[in-house]
Amino acid sequence: MTTRLCCIEGCGQPHDARGWCSIHYSRWHRTGSPDGPLSFSSIQAARERIADGIVATGCPRSFGLETRTGARVRFKPEFRQRTGSFKDRGSLNKLLLFRDEARRRGVVAASAGNHAQALAFHAARLGVPCTIVMPEGAPLIKVANTKSHGAQVFQTGRTLSDGLKEVDRIVAEDGAVPVHAFDDLAVIAGQGTTALEIVEQVPEVSTIVVPVGGGGMISGIAVAAKALRPGVRVVGVEAAASPGAAESLQAGEPVHVESADTLADGIAVKRIGGLAYPFLESLVDDVVLVSEREIADAVFFLLEQEKVVVEGAGATPVAALLEGKVAVAPGETVVCVLSGGNIDVNIISRIIDRGLRDDGRLVRLRVVVRDRPGSLAQLTTVVAAEGVNVLDIHHVRAFGDVSVGEVGIEIRAETRGREHAARMVEKLRTLGHRVEERP
């Protein structure tokens, strides 16, 4: 096994779990600033380097979140990057630092999808061969997009960590240069350029809320933001199903966490980056967790209220604000980083259906009526009179609790909300029908 060295350029000493040797780790705490390649100046240099290849996204207001929270909320819509996520920044910065020999060897990476797409796209632009290892359950849109950019794609394992073993094999056999999705200082510096734009566009920003997976983006953002605005608060948000950062901070060092399946697949990692951890520990003010339901509700909120499509990972900052997990004062200025928008359409469809059901705007009923002519007409007359739109209706005679003289009718319908649906149900029951709400 190759010994990994301290990430501070020129040090040459083996690093600990944090990514730095003990001398430089101690110096970080004394000075508040690393003396290596990840610094404010390296993030500024990355911005100049990648300027022609990325989108300088804006910071539009979120009127919906302002109403819900009382704060002045803005979005940093990184889903508007060329490949649909913030990963364009770090991948391009890394590639542009390659010398000719490294470009000829090509690159390889393990990614759940966003880093894969960004690396594949920019490698193709620069004429660099690219191989990507993705989990077997990676979203189809991310797999298809990565292949469309010309990368060779292998799918293996369930998580990013599983794919790293395949990356090691490819590096050993083919000599390709590995580009880690988050545990790479050039990648982190590229992600940090997001904060340079935020502070320029929203100089009054007091809190920046950032999704956390491996810790690369939040580390870069924290370094840049606090160099420009020392008092700014940087808050990370993780899926509760994959709480690597929260548990690592509690343990005082990066720890391995077995993550469960999560809608926020883009931030589901088993271990936070060793190079990112010191910045997370020293500069990030808090890390909060959001549940799967809260993430889905945030995706639905963004679709309906903000008219934007954001993937689960990208919606986690919104979930944290909607649920009050990030304390904000009335009138303070908050920026939510919406990190990506690469989500399968079928997942969106399920989220919409569930959101409408939770609001009472989509209902599914089983109505038991007398099995005689006119019963169905009577039922549909009530539904129509209430202004309810029927999507599906079926006769079902196989219910165990339906007698020979009865028939079950299943209805899926759109209403204006819970009170509207309840009024329709009450009128059906008044006519003597048995009505049961179905999941």
Alpha-carbon distance of 333 to 236, in angstroms, equals: 16
Residues whose CB is less than 8 angstroms from the CB of residue 403 and which lie 6 or more positions away in sequence, other chains included: none
Alpha-carbon distance of 117 to 232, in angstroms, equals: 31
Whether the CB-CB separation of 215 and 182 falls below 8 Å is answered with yes
Alpha-carbon distance of 244 to 254, in angstroms, equals: 8
DSSP readout, 259-325?
A: PPP-S-GGG--SB--TTTHHHHHHH--EEEEE-HHHHHHHHHHIIIII-----HHHHHHHHHHHTT-
Alpha-carbon distance of 143 to 232, in angstroms, equals: 37
| 106-118 confidence digits (pLDDT tens) | 999 988 789 999 9
State yes or no: pLDDT of 290 exceeds 50. Answer: yes
The token pair that represents 390 in the structure block: 């029927």
CA 253, chain centre distance (Å): 24
- Say if strands 389-396 and 333-338 run parallel, antiparallel, or are unpaired: unpaired
Alpha-carbon distance of 401 to 393, in angstroms, equals: 19
| 195-233 confidence digits (pLDDT tens) | 999 999 999 999 999 999 999 999 999 999 999 999 999
Average pLDDT, the chain: 87
Alpha-carbon distance of 106 to 101, in angstroms, equals: 9
Ordered by where they begin, the domains of the chain are: 1-35 (no CATH), 36-84+190-351 (3.40.50.1100), 87-178 (3.40.50.1100), 360-437 (3.30.70.260)
| 59-90 confidence digits (pLDDT tens) | 999 999 999 999 999 999 999 999 999 999 99
The helix (H) or strand (E) run that includes residue 239 is strand 233-239
Closest CA to 214 of 111, 283, 64, 126: 111
Torsion of CA 264, 265, 270, 275, to 10 degrees: -80
3-state DSSP assignment of residue 364: strand
pLDDT at 5: 46
State yes or no: pLDDT of 24 exceeds 70. Answer: no
| 308-324 confidence digits (pLDDT tens) | 999 999 999 999 999 99
